[in-house]
């Protein structure tokens, strides 16, 4: 499955707490989610962080990427 574009609404949904609905065993995703949950960054900046992370580690995040459409 292809990674959604940076402007796709799923990234803002992840940044707005949707990451809690993401079923993942990937430690990197879990650590990023926890760090961003505690961060004072704006939702747009958090969404950008999620996009950048998923872009960098796309090959190992097939399960998580498949779930993005259901957020």
Euclidean distance between CA atoms 6 and 12, whole angstroms: 10
All residues at 6 or more sequence positions from 21 whose CB lies less than 8 Å from its CB, including other chains: 71
Say whether pLDDT at 1 is over 80: no
Tokens found for residue 55: 């872009």
Q: What is the tens place of the pLDDT at every residue in 14-51?
A: 999 999 999 999 999 999 999 999 999 999 999 999 99
pTM for the full predicted model: 0.93
List, as one string, the DSSP characters of 7-57. TSHHHHHHHTTGGGG-----HHHHHHHHHHHH----HHHHHHHHHHHHHHT
What pLDDT, on the 0 to 100 scale, is given for residue 13? 96
């Amino acid at each position: 499955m292809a990674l959604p574009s940076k402007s796709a609404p799923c990234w803002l949904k992840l940044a707005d707490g949707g990451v809690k609905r993401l079923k993942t065993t990937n430690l990197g995703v879990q650590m990023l989610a926890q760090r961003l949950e505690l961060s004072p960054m704006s939702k747009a900046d958090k969404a950008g962080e999620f996009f950048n992370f998923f872009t960098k580690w796309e090959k190992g995040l097939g399960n998580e990427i498949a779930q993005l459409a259901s957020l």
